[in-house]
Structures are given as structure tokens and as C-alpha cells.
Amino acid sequence: MENFDELMRFSEIFKPIVETPEEIKPVNDIGTFSKAQPLLRAIITNELIVSILTASSLFAFTLPLSRILQSINLDLSVAVEHMDTIINQTKKMTVDIDQVFSHIFEEAQVYTYL
């Protein structure tokens, strides 16, 4: 659950992270700006953005199961039902893989053009 929360938090603050070096630039502090540039180049790669979006979509499937498995009142039958749902969702994703990745790539373009 922590990984999902961290991934969601990163997705939420991605835009401000990308915009910060541009805000630093007018301050005429070339040292700070030059240190921020490598970080910016590392996080705005298409590979990282697509990976984050793909992981987010998969974590969204597994989060309810993770919460059930970590609960004090664990009900295995409910956990098995959620596992079946996850299996069915991932099978559906593999059948519709072109559509799934098309959606992920469209979403990635929003992050790429910040």
C-alpha cells in the first residue's frame, strides 16, 4: 500500500517538480539552475513517465486486495474474490493491450509537454 501511495503522490507532484527549474531560472542563480537540470532531464524521460503510469494502473487493481490482506479482520474468501477480479482485469488488459497502452501513451503526452 505504501508503494501505491508514494507512486500516487509522485504523480500528483510531478508537474510542480518539472516546473520548478523554470521558476528558478529567472532568479539568475545559474548554479542552482544547473544542478536542477540533470534532475529534470532524468524525470521527464518518456520511459519513466510510461513506467509510472503503467505501474499506477496495475497498483490500482491490487490496492483493494492489499488493504484486505493487511486488515485485522482478514476474510480469505473476500481476498480470493479480489484476486479473481485482479486476474480477470489483467487478462482483459492483455487482450486489449493496444487500447490499454494507447491510453497510457495519451496520458504520458500530457506529462511530456509540461
Q: Structural domain tally of the chain? A: 1
Residue type, 9: R
Q: Angle at which helices 46-70 and 2-24 pack, to 10 degrees?
A: 150
Residue type, 18: V
Amino acid 24: pLDDT: 64
Amino acid 70: pLDDT: 87
Verdict on whether the full-model pTM lies above 0.85: no
Distances (CA, A) of 3 to 20, 45, 58, 76: 24, 21, 12, 23
Give residue for cell 542552482: 32
Binned average pLDDT, 10 residues per bin, the chain of 114 residues:
74 78 66 75 82 86 86 88 93 93 88 65
Amino acid 102: pLDDT: 93
Amino acid 3: pLDDT: 73
Domain extent, residue 52, equals 2-112
Amino acid 114: pLDDT: 54
